[in-house]
Amino acid sequence: MENLSKSACIVILLLLFLISSAEAVKQKTVLILWHELRWEDVKSPATAEFNELAVGLMNTRIGGGNAVNGAYLTISSGARALGVTDAAKMFYSSDNFQGNTAGEVYQLRTGQMISEENIVNPQIASILQATAQAEYPLQAGALAEKLQKAGIVVGVFGNSDLKDQVVRWAALVGMNSRGVVEYGVIGEDLLDSNADYPYGVCTNHEFLLDAVVKSDVEFAIIDLGDPYRYSLYESLILSQQQPVIRERMVRQSWEFVQRLHNLLPLTDLIILSPYPGDNRAQNGQWLAPVLIIGQEEGLLQSATTRWPGIVANIDIAPTVLQAYGVDKGVMLGRSMEIQSMDSQQAVDYLIALEQKIFRVSKYRSPVLRFLVIFQIVIYLFTLALLIIPKPLNQKFIRLVQFILIFSLSTPLILLVVAKTRVIVLFVLIGLIYAYFSEKDPLLIIMVIGILTAGLISIDVVNGSWLMRFSYLGYDPLGGARFYGIGNEYMGILIGALIIGWSILRELRPKKPIGSTATALWDLGVFVLTAVIIAAPQWGTNVGGTITAVAGFGVTWLCLHKKQFKMGGVGSILLLGFIIVFSLGLLMYIDANRPETGQSHIGQTVSIIQQEGLSAVVQIIKRKLDMNIKLFKYSLWSRALIAAIIAMGASLIWPSRYLQWLLLNHPCLVKGIIGTLTATITALAVNDSGVVAAATCCSFAATAMLCTALGLKHNLLPS
């Protein structure tokens, strides 16, 4: 009897253990939507109680349309969605809607039957129509769709309803591709009437908590509600009263999160703000906090950005799917990872990083506008000096040459100025010294070109950390690129190296180096630079790779084709083969790397494999649309036109300039031909080709203008 009792106790304990374990792992992940979460909210004393807190800055850009609705649709899609007004008007199928039940309206609009307990989106047709306009893989509701197909039960909880308006963000994020949520608690019973809160209502956190904990769902999406209502109401509150109401709302929200974490200790909580707020959005500050509680302390990062501390909104869905072992398919985002760091230090680091990014972004446009306008003006002024029939004062002409050459040094200065001003000082001192001591402007252009190309290459190999904070670098707020080499510096690198190296070949002693050795040395320099631009772990720029191979290839062939006896047709065929081979090799290498290490190149290969020719057509169309837009509205197109006009006009004034250039500087002429090839290629194959083309041809245009000025005004031998 005693043995029987012991056995019974063991069985009971085992059953209790299994039951408690089942309850604990029932929900692996809970997604909490906190509208307009701010870093001062994250620095609340309540967050210090979480021992396992990872934090990150999330880029919240969308594909277009209504910004707020698009932000939440993006979370549910794993790709930048197009926002549709009233997309969050979702109802239980039995709710009254436009004189009928929401289920009846849904059935009329879609032709699909649904169950009474389902939640439906009557606007699904409009959402799908907007989605179809995307020129990249985009499926509304892809997150819930994939989870449901894998047998994972998805549930949505909470609402952001106003007294006279239905707003169900959790349901919008949790709907599948048909606009249906299988289970959820989103009704009016979640709200309490209270005149002390915006719009006279507030979330019943006790009811919300009970609904989540007692549900049988495996993945829960929670809308806190009060933060959204406060964001709409804030402008109606006196400034001294705003902190009172907001601090109460923040405190109550964290209390809810803490209680949820205590009741589900083995569950990961992802807390995020899909939309940064109207004030930030209007200023282009598209970053918002994202937190994970339940894994480890540190900075969030992903293969989408390769930037510790920065992730993208398209990474949320893949992160959730990975937690359940579900393949993300063609979703453009990647799963987030954690880089170990003390959580409070991580928060302070991100606040400082965000301010630095905002500061660079704020001044990027005016700085670049000034530089581009300055370049256009100095080019046009130089053309006027070329047209003037009589020679001018040589000191004045040399001053103009100095200003032209100084403009070439600005990319180098902008690359290092955020890190150290000492190098900037050295550059300025060097230019002033060269102006007074060196009469040949080509020598100074050569030094600047090779130095600029070398420093850009070193920075790219080291992770592009100078470029990330340069006014000529890429903007993490825009979200088009987070790593590698951007098109601005890609064009500069190629143009600077071609002209700098061509002038070096012009000025080098010819006897010590045999022609074959010189050819191999030149080939090695060009190949190494092209690899830096192309390599997935470095530059990862496909358009830049094609541009580099074309520009470097033509330059090298022009310099050395005679000694290798290559004709024009043979040279073109060889160059075409090298471009195709290089591109194929790059895509093959990146596509076969682990997904966490792949760049967007390997991801593009996966999309093409799954979607076929249509994906290629979308890529080409997107690049053309972007270039047309930039050509119409961007100052870079004016800079490109000014450079081309300057290069063409210098061949006319002075009249003998072309013959003189061919006779005295044949290597420079070959470099100019290579640069023009790279410029045309950059314009054709890059999605912001106007920018790459404009920066690429600047070194060639300046070299031509400087030498033309010297010949016109008797600074150079005729």
Distances (CA, A) of 347 to 295, 354, 709: 16, 10, 56
Per-residue pLDDT at 701 exceeds 90: yes
User: Is 314 in contact with 272 (CB distance < 8 Å)?
Assistant: no
Structure tokens at 116: 């009474």
**What is the residue-wise DSSP string for 20-69?**
HHHHHHS-SEEEEE-TT--HHHHTSGGGGG-SSEEEEEEE---SEESHHH
CA separation, residue 98 to residues 29, 104, 306, 516, 627 (Å)? 36, 10, 48, 81, 45
Asked whether the predicted pLDDT for residue 6 surpasses 90, the reply is no
**pLDDT recorded at residue 424:** 76
- Calpha distance 110→105 (Å, rounded): 9
Q: Which helix (H) or strand (E) holds 700?
A: helix 698-712
Judge whether 710 and 402 are in contact, CB under 8 Å: no
Categorize the per-residue pLDDT at 115 as very low, low, confident or very high, splitting at 50, 70 and 90: confident
Give the closest residue to 500 by CA, choosing from 646, 675, 374, 382. 675
pLDDT of residue 363: 93
E-assigned strands of 565-711? none
Question: How many other C-beta atoms are found inside a 10 Å radius of the C-beta of residue 216?
Answer: 9
pLDDT for 44 equals 84
Q: Please check whether residue 106 is in contact with residue 127, taking contact to mean a CB–CB distance below 8 angstroms.
A: no
- What type of residue is 47? T
Cα 82 to chain centroid, rounded: 17
Q: Which residue has the higher pLDDT, 300 or 586?
A: 300
Distance CA 92, CA 114 (A): 11
Residue 206 has pLDDT above 50, yes or no: yes
Q: Which pLDDT value is given to residue 598?
A: 61
Residue 571 identity (one-letter amino acid): S
Q: Residue 141: pLDDT above 70?
A: yes
Is the pLDDT at 174 greater than 50? The verdict is: yes
682 CB neighbour count, 10 Å cutoff: 32
Q: How far apart are CA 3 and CA 7, in angstroms?
A: 6
Rounded to a whole number, what is the distance in angstroms from the first to the last CA of the chain? 118
- pLDDT, residue 570, reads 66
What pLDDT does residue 614 have? 67
Residue recorded with tokens 């453009």: 332
SS3 call for 391: coil
**Cα separation, 601 vs 586, whole angstroms:** 8
Distance CA 174, CA 75 (A): 9
Q: How confident is the model at residue 433 (pLDDT cuts 50, 70, 90)?
A: confident
pLDDT band at residue 517 using 50, 70 and 90 as cut-offs: confident
% pLDDT > 90, the chain:
65
Checking if the pLDDT of 335 tops 90, the result is yes
pLDDT at site 421: 73
Structure confidence at residue 714 (pLDDT): 73
| Extended beta strands in 80-151, E state | 82-83, 91-92, 96-97, 100-101, 119-120
Indicate the pLDDT class of residue 600, thresholds 50, 70 and 90: low
Beta bridge partners of 83: 65
User: Are 66 and 86 spatial neighbours (Cβ–Cβ below 8 Å)?
Assistant: no
- Rounded Cα distance between 154 and 222, Å, is 11
Q: Which of 601, 476, 493, 611 is nearest to 537 (CA)?
A: 601
Burial call 546-573: b when 16+ CB within 10 Å, e when fewer: bbbbbbbbbbbbbbbbeeeebeeeebee
Q: Which domains, from first to last, does the chain contain?
A: 26-341 (3.40.720.10), 363-712 (no CATH)
User: Three-state SS for 558?
Assistant: helix
The 3-class secondary structure across 414-468, one letter per residue, is: HHHCCCCCHHHHHHHHHHHHHHHHCCCHHHHHHHHHHHHHHHHHHHHHCCCCCHH
Reduce the DSSP state of residue 94 to 3 states and report it. Answer: coil
pLDDT tens, position by position, 486-513: 999 999 999 999 999 999 998 875 544 4
pLDDT at 316 over 50: yes
Are 405 and 441 in contact by the 8 Å Cβ rule? The answer is yes
Q: What share of the chain is helix, strand, coil (3-state, %, to 5)?
A: 60, 10, 30
Q: How far apart are the C-alpha atoms of 75 and 269, rounded to whole Å?
A: 15
**603, pLDDT greater than 70:** no
Q: Are 608 and 583 in contact (CB under 8 A)?
A: no
Average pLDDT for residues 171-176, to the nearest whole number? 98
pLDDT above 70 as % of the chain = 89
Q: What is the pLDDT of residue 24?
A: 41
pLDDT tens digits for 16-33? 444 444 444 445 899 999
- pLDDT at residue 15 in the model: 44
Tell me the C-alpha distance between 700 and 387, whole Å: 20
Question: How far is CA 290 from each of CA 117, 205, 234, rounded to the nearest angstrom?
Answer: 32, 21, 22
How far apart CA 679 and CA 652 sit, in angstroms, is: 21
Q: Is residue 141 left, alpha or beta, with left meaning phi > 0 and alpha meaning psi from -120 to 50?
A: left
pLDDT of res. 81: 96
What is the per-residue pLDDT across 269-292, written as a single tens digit (0 to 9) for each? 999 999 999 999 999 999 999 999
Among 123-127, 284-288, 440-444, the least confident range: 440-444
Q: Given pLDDT bands bounded at 50, 70 and 90, which one contains residue 49?
A: confident
Res 638: pLDDT: 87
Q: What is the pLDDT of residue 16?
A: 45
- Across 559-638, the runs of DSSP E, i.e. the strands, are none
Residue 673 one-letter amino acid: I
Q: Which residues of 143-170 are buried (b: 16+ CB within 10 A; e: fewer)?
A: bbbbbbeeebbbbbbbbbbbeeebbbbb
Q: What number of helices (H) and strands (E) belong to the chain? A: 27, 19
Give residue-wise pLDDT tens across range 339-352: 999 999 999 999 99
Instruction: Decide the pairing of beta strands 53-59 and 287-293.
Output: antiparallel
CA dihedral (222, 223, 225, 230) positive or negative: positive
Q: How far apart are CA 492 and CA 692, in angstroms?
A: 8
Copy the structure tokens of residue 59. Answer: 């880029």
- Residue 503: Cβ-neighbour burial (10 angstroms; 0-12, 13-18, 19+): buried
* pLDDT reported for residue 564: 58
Position with higher pLDDT, 616 vs 419:
419
Mean pLDDT of 690-694: 92
C-alpha 439, offset from chain centre: 44
Give the list of residues 6+ apart from residue 409 with CB closer than 8 angstroms, or none.
427, 431, 448, 452
Poorest-pLDDT segment among 196-200, 240-244, 480-484: 480-484
Give the pLDDT of residue 565.
57
> Mean pLDDT for the chain?
88
pLDDT of residue 439: 76
Element (H, E) at 578: helix 568-591
Average pLDDT over residues 664-678: 94
> In residues, how long is the chain?
718
Full-model pTM: 0.89
- For residue range 390-426, what is the model confidence (pLDDT) as tens digits? 888 888 998 999 999 999 999 999 998 877 777 777 8
Rounded CA-CA distance 450/500 in Å is 5
